[in-house]
């Protein structure tokens, strides 16, 4: 019985590793010895027919996160000549969640930053501040409420079948385990910089089962920049100053992270 279980587990492991190499060989950098950060993927949440959450004043999340993402891209492009910055969307356009990860992989991204804004649930007291999320595979199925809000468009529009989910969970398990340490370090750099550079209070770093983080094979983080259901957060998130300060803080954290990542990986060559 135990032997059967061991054989079964080994087979699953073997299949997932084989699938890992078959399906993700496109994401291996051309020079696989070179592990520096060359491509940053910026993912502005929602867009088009998916407005995301709605603020007290009626503002849509999709229209807050896009200018923050564009400002972040501009800061990065100005700082680095040799860094490719790819946006999963650069206009008010609907992009499926699955497609966002595919874009990141096909562009050989080395870092994936998804930008969102939050909303409190009806039964909750007022909430304010930013949160950072890492992928927790165990929670992909669970779809707790906050996750459900960010994931809901996959349910409505993409009709994800269980085979896709199982396959991606296996692949992501291999990848995210490898990148979790980097994702965690990057998250705490973002947390430090946003606390220093904006008026938003930090609510912490959490793990959740966000679909958009599932299919990107690189260090990935999702930033919930603040609560559109809080009047002070909303006003700040809507303002040019607020959007600029958030973008600049994330930019600074990318700069620190890239410095550390590139240095460490150059030692390993
Ligand atoms: Zn969102």
Identify whether 173 is part of a domain: yes
**Distance from residue 37's CA to the centre of ligand 1 (Å):** 26
SS (H, E, C) 213-266: HHCCCCCEEEEEEEECCCHHHHHHHHCHHHHHHHHHHHHHHHHHHHHHHHHHHH
The pLDDT of residue 98: 77
Q: What is the pLDDT of residues 260-269, one digit of tens each?
A: 999 988 877 6
Contact status, residue 101 vs residue 215, Cβ threshold 8 Å: yes
**Distance from residue 97's CA to the centre of ligand 1 (Å):** 11
Average pLDDT, the chain: 81
**Distance from residue 118's CA to the centre of ligand 1 (Å):** 6
Q: What is the mean pLDDT of residues 214-230?
A: 89
Rounded to the nearest 5 degrees, what angle is found at the Cα of 223, between the Cα atoms of 225 and 217? 160
How far apart CA 224 and CA 138 sit, in angstroms, is 20
Helix (H, G, I), strand (E, B) or coil at 174: helix
**Distance from residue 18's CA to the centre of ligand 1 (Å):** 33
**Distance from residue 119's CA to the centre of ligand 1 (Å):** 9
Q: Give me the number of domains the chain comprises.
A: 1
The pLDDT of residue 142: 45
The pLDDT of residue 269: 60
**Distance from residue 222's CA to the centre of ligand 1 (Å):** 9
Name the pTM for this structure: 0.80
The pLDDT of residue 61: 96
Of 47-61, 205-219, 230-244, which range is least confident?
A: 205-219
Q: Which range among 55-59, 138-142, 162-166 has the greatest average pLDDT?
A: 55-59
Domain containing 191 — which CATH number?
3.40.630.40
Range of the domain at 237: 38-267
């Amino acid at each position: 019985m135990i032997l059967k279980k061991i054989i079964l587990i080994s087979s699953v492991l073997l299949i997932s590793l084989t699938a890992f190499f078959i399906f993700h060989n496109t994401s291996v950098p051309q020079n696989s010895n070179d592990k520096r950060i060359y491509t940053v993927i910026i993912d502005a949440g929602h867009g088009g027919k998916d407005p995301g959450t709605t603020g007290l004043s009626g503002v849509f999340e999709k229209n807050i996160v896009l200018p923050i993402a564009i400002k972040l891209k501009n800061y990065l492009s100005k700082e680095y000549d040799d860094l490719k910055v790819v946006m999963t969307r650069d206009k008010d356009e609907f992009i499926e969640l699955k497609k966002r990860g595919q874009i990141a992989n096909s562009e050989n991204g080395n870092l994936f930053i998804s930008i969102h804004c939050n909303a409190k649930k009806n039964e909750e007291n007022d909430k304010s501040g930013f949160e950072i999320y890492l992928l927790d595979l165990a929670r992909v199925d669970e779809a707790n409420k906050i996750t459900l809000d960010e994931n809901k468009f996959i349910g409505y529009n993409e009709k994800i079948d269980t085979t896709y989910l199982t396959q991606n969970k296996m692949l992501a398990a291999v990848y995210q385990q490898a990148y979790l340490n980097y994702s965690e370090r990057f998250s705490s750099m973002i947390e430090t910089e946003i606390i220093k550079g904006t008026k938003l209070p930090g609510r912490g770093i959490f793990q959740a089962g966000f679909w958009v983080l599932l299919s990107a094979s690189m260090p990935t983080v999702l930033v919930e920049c603040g609560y559109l259901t809080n009047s002070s957060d909303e006003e700040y998130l809507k303002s040019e100053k607020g959007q600029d300060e958030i973008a600049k803080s994330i930019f600074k954290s990318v700069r620190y992270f890239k410095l550390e990542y590139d240095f460490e990986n150059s030692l390993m060559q």
